């Protein structure tokens, strides 16, 4: 998405119209005639007109939440529309805005995060109007998501540096304990697969168990991305731990911020609100007191 495309982003009236339409269209196939009738009759408290709702429909199509149906002019609701429909309006609007900004991540998005800190001065006017309609936490999360989508190589490089640091610290810890044999068993398993739910394995100091460490490189405010797989593994495996490295996401210098268990994260995780919708990825702002120093023993 170029700067030109960014200026073509919808306004908040169109976002609200799309969210208002979601419950009426979710899980159905609709004809043009049925939709026109719906636009006339849908209660909106006088805040949205027929033209607004028609624009909202176009936004849902743009987001692929409505797709072309089998008959002429028919539209089919995609599963994601059910997710939007089930959310409270403010959360649904935030989800639509985040989806818009990350769908075709623009070059400006990566420049809008400097050392993990948002820089709204480089955000184009259209995107800035959308972001300004969100509460501060949602605004920063949406911008971070767009930045990561725009610069996957930078995010991957930062993650690799964090994992390398954790491998190094685990090896040093075992060597200091007089167990160079165990230090040689530390593995960066993410190079084999990134679908395990953890990145590094390391023996415990007594060599009786294996620690499974999911490593995250955090920027401003200890914000980390966590996948559903990582959260599920962490919740079920007592040997799993989240290890957070802190520093510039694009810089070379990182330090260990600390670690926590999967059960510590449970109160922070989203809840699946519908049988047809499951969250897949979340940005967590970790409370400062959550992390314990060093590595798990």
Tens of pLDDT, residue by residue over 43-62, are 999 999 999 999 999 999 99
Distances (CA, A) of 79 to 25, 82, 93, 120, 167: 11, 6, 17, 33, 41
pLDDT given at position 274: 80
Is the predicted pLDDT of residue 63 greater than 80, yes or no? yes
The average confidence (pLDDT) of the chain is 86
72-119 pLDDT tens trace? 999 999 988 988 998 899 989 998 998 888 876 666 776 676 555 677
- Centre a 10 Å sphere on the Cβ of residue 173 and count the other Cβ atoms it contains: 18
Residue 30 contacts residue 74 (beta carbons within 8 Å): yes
Contact 297, 267 (CB under 8 A): no
Cα–Cα distance for residue pair 247/217, rounded to 1 Å: 8
Q: Is the pLDDT of residue 3 over 50?
A: no
How many CB atoms are located within 10 Å of the residue 251 CB? 11
The pTM of this model reads 0.55
- Per-residue pLDDT at 152: 58
More confident residue, 120 or 23: 23
Q: Assign 217 a pLDDT band (cuts: 50, 70, 90).
A: confident
Strands 66-68 and 210-218: unpaired
Give residue 7's pLDDT band: very low, low, confident or very high (50, 70, 90). Answer: very low
The arithmetic mean of pLDDT across residues 216-231, rounded, is 83
Round to whole Å and give the CA distance between 61 and 83: 15
d(CA 138, CA 135): 5
pLDDT at 61: 94
Q: What is the pLDDT of residue 244?
A: 94
The pLDDT value given to residue 2: 37
Token couple for 42:
């849908």
Name the percent of the chain lying above pLDDT 90: 50
Does the pLDDT at position 5 exceed 50?
Answer: no
Give the list of residues 6+ apart from residue 242 with CB closer than 8 angstroms, or none: 213, 214, 216, 224, 226, 234, 259, 260, 261, 262, 265
Instruction: Provide the pLDDT for residue 6.
Output: 41
């Amino acid at each position: 998405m170029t700067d030109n495309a960014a200026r073509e982003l919808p306004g908040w009236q169109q976002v609200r119209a799309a969210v208002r339409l979601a419950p009426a269209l979710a899980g159905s196939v609709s004809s043009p005639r049925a939709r026109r009738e719906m636009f006339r009759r849908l209660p909106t408290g006088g805040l949205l007109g027929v033209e607004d709702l028609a624009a909202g429909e176009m936004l849902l199509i743009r987001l692929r939440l409505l797709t072309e149906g089998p008959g002429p002019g028919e539209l089919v609701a995609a599963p994601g529309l059910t997710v939007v429909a089930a959310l409270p309006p403010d959360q649904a609007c935030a989800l639509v805005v985040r989806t818009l900004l990350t769908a075709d991540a623009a070059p400006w998005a990566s420049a809008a995060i400097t050392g993990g800190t948002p820089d709204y001065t480089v955000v184009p006017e259209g995107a800035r109007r959308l972001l300004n309609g969100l509460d501060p936490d949602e605004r920063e999360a949406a911008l971070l998501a767009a930045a990561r989508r725009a610069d996957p190589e930078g995010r991957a490089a930062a993650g690799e540096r964090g994992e390398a640091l954790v491998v190094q610290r685990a090896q040093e810890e075992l060597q200091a304990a007089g167990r160079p044999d165990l230090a040689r068993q530390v593995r960066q398993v993410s190079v084999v697969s990134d679908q395990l739910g953890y990145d590094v394995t390391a023996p415990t100091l007594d060599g009786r168990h294996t620690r499974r460490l999911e490593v995250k490189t955090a920027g401003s405010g200890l914000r980390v991305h966590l996948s559903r797989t990582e959260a599920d593994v962490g919740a079920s495996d007592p040997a799993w731990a989240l290890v957070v490295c802190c520093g510039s996401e694009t810089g070379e210098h990182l330090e260990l911020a600390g670690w926590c268990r999967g059960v510590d994260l449970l109160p922070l995780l989203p809840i699946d609100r519908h049988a047809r919708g499951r969250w897949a990825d979340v940005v967590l702002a970790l409370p400062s007191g959550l992390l314990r120093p060093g590595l798990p023993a």
